[in-house]
Structure 1
Amino acid sequence: MVEADKSYNDLKNDFIYEMDFIANIGTKMFLFPFTNRTKVSTYGYYFTYSLVIFTSIQLSVTLCLTGFADWFEIINIAPNLGVCLMILVKYGKINRNRDLYNAISQHFRLDVWEAISESKEHKRILNQYTQTTRYIVRFAFYYTIVLVAIVVLFPRLIMLYETDIIGKEMQYLYPFDGWYPFDKVQWYYIAYVWESFMTSVIIFLYLFGNMLHMTFTRHICMELKILGETMENLLSEDDVTKINGNLKIDLDNIHYNIRKKIKFIISKHQFLARITSGLDTVMGDGMLLTYVFGSVFICLTAFTATVVDDLYKSLRYFSFFCSLLVETFFQCIMGQLLINHSEKLERAIYFADWVYADSDTKNMLLILLMRSQKPFSYSANGYLTMNLDTFSGICSLSYQFFNLLRTAYSE
């Protein structure tokens, strides 16, 4: 039921408000507006990108200095380096494909309203998807703030706990423990502020990309739902009655209006197919990295958290494990939602009252049905489809490796 029987304009304003919320965050990340950005915003983007590159180099040097001899130090550094590399891929690809993102943004601000009527069912769908998108985006936003606070403050809290409460010797802890060309103990607070700042930047960039892609995916799903509902009501009961009654005077006009609706649905479906394919191409590298890192590091961080004899490292590895699991699930659930809504549109086309249509309309419906039989999806660069089966496979593979490592370690 539509919340408090909101008017069409109120629901439209709610939807646009959510678009503006994402846009405001994107402005702070130097990515929005996607095109025609100011010089300050463009310089801000390249400066931020350079900072992430510098942090990636810092972590790479740190990893190399371990000599790849200390297992725990490798696991301590590698996930952070992997996240930085994924940020470089995601952040850079959003900027390089800004025309695609701008076209999607403009479509859902302006053109989508051609498909959404003021009918009760369309208003219900619009309200439902606006509200769920709001909940998802707000959760991701506040989760980001909490995550930044935990990652930045956690080392200091552990230091205070171990030094002041337990009475252990002072052990200097950092958010990601990078290498510096100076004594980082002597310059502890400078190193800590730098790592806290870059940790905050990287987490916000990472989760903004997720919020943006989830928002666009939910909007695509909403439009597919709208088109499916329109297809189910392609012929009204009055139209069927007139067709069965052979009222020649109205038949040409009825079939003309039906074909007009189908052409409109086909044009919208083609556009959604195009932007979904574009998003799949843009996100493909990131999803492939998510799959590879997810398969490897979910296992390694979970295993290391159970065997390391240090409170801080144990909690840190466990947090890595949880974050990787959530990120992998997030990517897979986006793909699953897209597949589900594509299949629902296919069923809506099949169950439309096509038996009462004329031959030209049936041919158009057949073409649309054939196109919709290949559902929209996201993939890891075409190697595998991102869905819940993939997530299940990643978890199963990681669990098998975890058991293998536990057995080898115990022996």
Structure 2
Amino acid sequence: MDYFLYTTCTYIKLQFNILKTKFELLFTPSNSISQNTDDVITPAEFPAKFKELVTWHQKLIKAVDMLEYIFTKATLYNISASSLMICLTLFNATIIKDTALVLSFFVFLCVTYLQIYFLCYFGNIISDSSVGIADGVYNSKWYMMDAAIGRHLILVMMRSQKPCKLTAFGFTDIDLNVFMRILSNAWSYFALLKTFYP
């Protein structure tokens, strides 16, 4: 199931990046070599093209919401259990004298780190790429168009500044900051256990 999440997040990120590029090129001639201003989108053509891009954006937001609905409880379990597992694995690896057993704990620790890192990394790329739509709108040649078109673009920018994100059942956003907090908590629990162990 983790690989399905990673693949879906990557696909959604690519779709956000393509949409960002479409917004950037919205008012650019279709043939970038020609400097013919006839290729530039006209105010009459704008509503249909804008509606297409906004619909695309809404579908991507719904896709992230669906992904959040499917994985939010499993993500909460992974986030809450990972600090404890990392702490206990570190503790066992430091008190056991058998090298072969220590190596098996070390491998388990690396796999646990990677699982949590990938979960947080792919949550991070979803939020970063969704916010990138606002940059795409801003980098378009909106200043060449009417003020009414600019007002439509401002609405897209305002919606894009609220990132799409994956959460742990609403308790915390899944991003690389959470990964650092998990490692910090695991180390704190480990240090506490070491003080109690003779």
TM-score, L = length of structure 2: 0.89
Q: Report the secondary structure of 1:212's partner residue.
A: helix
Residue number in structure 1 paired with 2:81: 293
Asked if residue 222 in structure 1 is aligned to residue 10 in structure 2, the reply is: no
For residue 224 of structure 1, what is the amino acid of its counterpart?
F
CA RMSD of aligned residues (A): 2.2
1:338-367: CA deviation from partner (whole Å, max 9, x where unpaired): 111112221111222112222332222122
Residue number in structure 2 paired with 1:318: 106
1:255-303: CA deviation from partner (whole Å, max 9, x where unpaired): 1223322211100110010010110111111110111111111111111
Query: Which of the residues 171, 175, 183 maps onto 1:387?
Result: 175
Residues 287 and 380 of structure 1 are in contact (CA less than 8 Å); yes or no, is this contact kept in structure 2? yes
| Cα distance, 1:372 vs structure 2 | 0.7
Residue number in structure 2 paired with 1:211: 3
The answer to which of 398-407 and 381-390 deviates more is 398-407
Query: Which of the residues 157, 163, 166 maps onto 1:375?
Result: 163
Q: Report the secondary structure of 1:391's partner residue.
A: helix
Query: Which of the residues 138, 145, 153 maps onto 1:350?
Result: 138
Residues 72 and 167 of structure 2 are in contact (CA less than 8 Å); yes or no, is this contact kept in structure 1? yes
Q: Report the secondary structure of 1:256's partner residue.
A: coil
Q: Between the two proteins, what is the percent identity of the paired residues?
A: 27
Q: Report the secondary structure of 1:377's partner residue.
A: coil
Unaligned runs of at least 5 residues, structure 2: none
Count of matched residue pairs: 194
Query: Which of the residues 148, 156, 170 maps onto 1:360?
Result: 148
* Partner Cα separation in structure 2 for residue 356 and residue 259 of structure 1: 16
Residue number in structure 1 paired with 2:45: 257
* Partner Cα separation in structure 1 for residue 75 and residue 175 of structure 2: 11
Q: More relative contact order in 1 or in 2 (CA 8 Å, sep 6+)?
A: 2
Residue number in structure 2 paired with 1:49: none
Unaligned runs of at least 5 residues, structure 1: 1-208, 243-249
* Structure number, greater radius of gyration: 1
| Cα distance, 1:237 vs structure 2 | 5.3
